[in-house]
Structures are given as structure tokens and as C-alpha cells.
Amino acid sequence: MNNNHRLKYLFVINNGAGSKNNDAILEKIKAFIPEEDHEKSLYILPATFTHTQIKDHVIQTNPLMVVAVGGDGTVTMLANIAADKNILLGVILAGSANGMAKELGISENTDEALQIIKSGKQKKIDLIKINDKDYCLHLSDIGLNAHLIKHFDEGKMRGKLGYALVIFKTLWQKEKMQVTIHTEDITINRTAFMVAFANARMYGTGAVINPQGKLDDGLFEVIIVRKLSFFTLLKMMLDPSLFNPSKIEIISCTSVDIRTNRKVYFQIDGEYKGKIKNIHAAVKKGMVTMILPA
């Protein structure tokens, strides 16, 4: 497409993201954005797809703005694609985990979210680049939570009951790990259940694990979960409001190298990535421009 007349909006719709009625959302998008030449395009993700396929489609379409219609995973995927490109990123909530959008102040009401798309403000958001490959927009971690995500992905049961079952399974199998953490300022050794890399404050469940998180301060936080009992961890996962952040250690930094004593479970923004032993993470300031409430 000619860059002098770029498509204004590309809506990427993930029907597998959650329980919201995407047909109703689709009709609202069609009604809100006029049917004009080069105004909008709707791209409904197939049941199975690769990130490369989506990236190729976005780059070929070359919109002024790509809009993620889905949950945190859809937002992160499109943030990776829009990173360091002249493409804005908007969000309409349609997923089961929407911690990132809630943190950004984006309404769960589709009409209000669409109004932000049309008249919101632009804000540059930091990303965390992990092992010189993947971008993290939200929260990544090694250990307990990544193990839970692996169990949930493998399980056949969804919803609250499915989540509760994988929580019990994960906590029953929980193991501590030995980690060496090296930032620009310190080198420390710790024994931990989990270590997170947080650009934001809360998980999609609403659990605030990083009270000092800011998405545009040129920093991210390394969060070390060290001494939590079985029942404290269970309460934290079943009711995020019961989580006590004083039981964790938080280190602000611009980069970190982490080495573990064995391969441990690893996830980025809710996507399980396998087992890993060495991690390098570094902040990339203002890498993606999002459309947020004015």
C-alpha cells in the first residue's frame, strides 16, 4: 500500500482470547468506524497461527494504527510487531486476562474503548527485551508462575475451576531455585520460588506484584519471591487482594543478568516459553507508542 495514503486502522481480532462476545464487539467496530476507503480493515485471527504470519500481515498492510482486540497476549504480540516502527497501538478488551489494559486505564466497555481509539492521547511505552530476542510489555517470570501457566496450557479444563486445579497442582510441586542476579549496581545470590521481570504493576488476575512499576520511566523491576508459605501462595493466587508485597524483594534496574542452578520454567506476558537457565533482560525506552485515555 502507498505510504502516502496509509490504512488508518487495522483491527486484529483474537476470537480465542477469552469469553467476551466478539461478534458484538465486531458490530460495534463496524458501526463506530465509517466504511470509507483506506479507513479500516478487520483481521480475524485463525484458530492456529504463528507470530510471523501476523507480523507479515501487519507490515504488508502498514496501518497508521493496529488495534489489539483480545487479552494481554494479543496486546503483547502486537506490541512486539509495532515496536520501533511508525505504527500506533490501540487496545479493545476481549480477553480473559486484561491486566495490562486495566493498568493503562483502558475501559472494559467497548464503546468507551473505541472512543479512546479515535480521540485518545499518544504515549510512548517502554519494553523489556529478553535474551536479545523477545519483547516483554507487561510481566515475565521464572519459577512458580511460569510453571502454573504451563499446567494451565496443558490442562483441558478452563474457567475458575480449571485455574484452581492447576494452582493446587503447581503449589504441590513447587520447588525453590538458586539464582544469581547481576544488575548495573549489584550482584546478589538468592533462594527463591519465583523471579519476575516487571514493566508493569499487576498480573492479569489483578495481583499487584510490583507496586512501584511505571511503564514509561526507563526502568523495570526484578521481583524476588523468597519466603512464602503454601497457604500464603494459595491465597495470593485465589484472591489477589490478599497478596502482601512486603514479602518480596524488589530491585529497580535498566538491565539484569540472571543465572539459575538448573533449568527453570519461563514465561513472557502469559506465554510459556519452556525451560531456561540464563536470562539477559534490558529496558528499551519508548519502543512502542500506545493510544491511551486523554
Across 53-64, average pLDDT = 93
Nearest Cα neighbor of 58 from 88, 30, 99, 36 is 88
Whether 3 shows a pLDDT value over 90: the answer reads no
Angle, helices 51-61/72-82, rounded to nearest 10 degrees: 50
> Is residue 129 in some structural domain?
no
For residues 185 and 253, the answer to whether their CB atoms sit within 8 Å is: yes
| pLDDT one-digit tens code per residue, 14-46 | 886 555 567 888 889 888 877 665 688 999 998
- Strand-pair partners of 196: 141, 223
CATH number at residue 102: 3.40.50.10330
Q: What digits encode the pLDDT tens for the residues 260-288?
A: 999 999 999 888 899 999 999 999 999 99
Report how many domains make up the chain: 2
Q: Are residues 94 and 144 in the same domain?
A: no
Which CATH number goes with the domain that contains 239?
2.60.200.40
* Residue 290: inside a domain: no
Of residues 158 and 183, more confidence is placed in 183
pLDDT at 30: 87
Same domain, 74 and 148: no
State mean pLDDT over 157-176: 59
* Claim to verify: residue 52 and residue 141 sit in the same structural domain: no
**95 and 209 share a domain?**
no
Query: Does residue 155 lie in a domain region?
Result: yes
154 and 256 share one domain? yes
Establish if 139 belongs to a structural domain.
Answer: yes
In 155-229, where does DSSP find H-type helix? Answer: 159-172
Residue 98 structural domain:
3-119
| pTM of the entire predicted model | 0.82
Alpha-carbon torsion angle 199, 205, 209, 215, nearest 10: 20
Last residue of some domain: 69, 88, 119?
119
Q: Is residue 164 pLDDT above 80, yes or no? A: no
Q: What is the pLDDT of residues 202-252, one digit of tens each?
A: 776 667 778 878 899 999 999 998 866 656 655 555 555 555 656 688 999
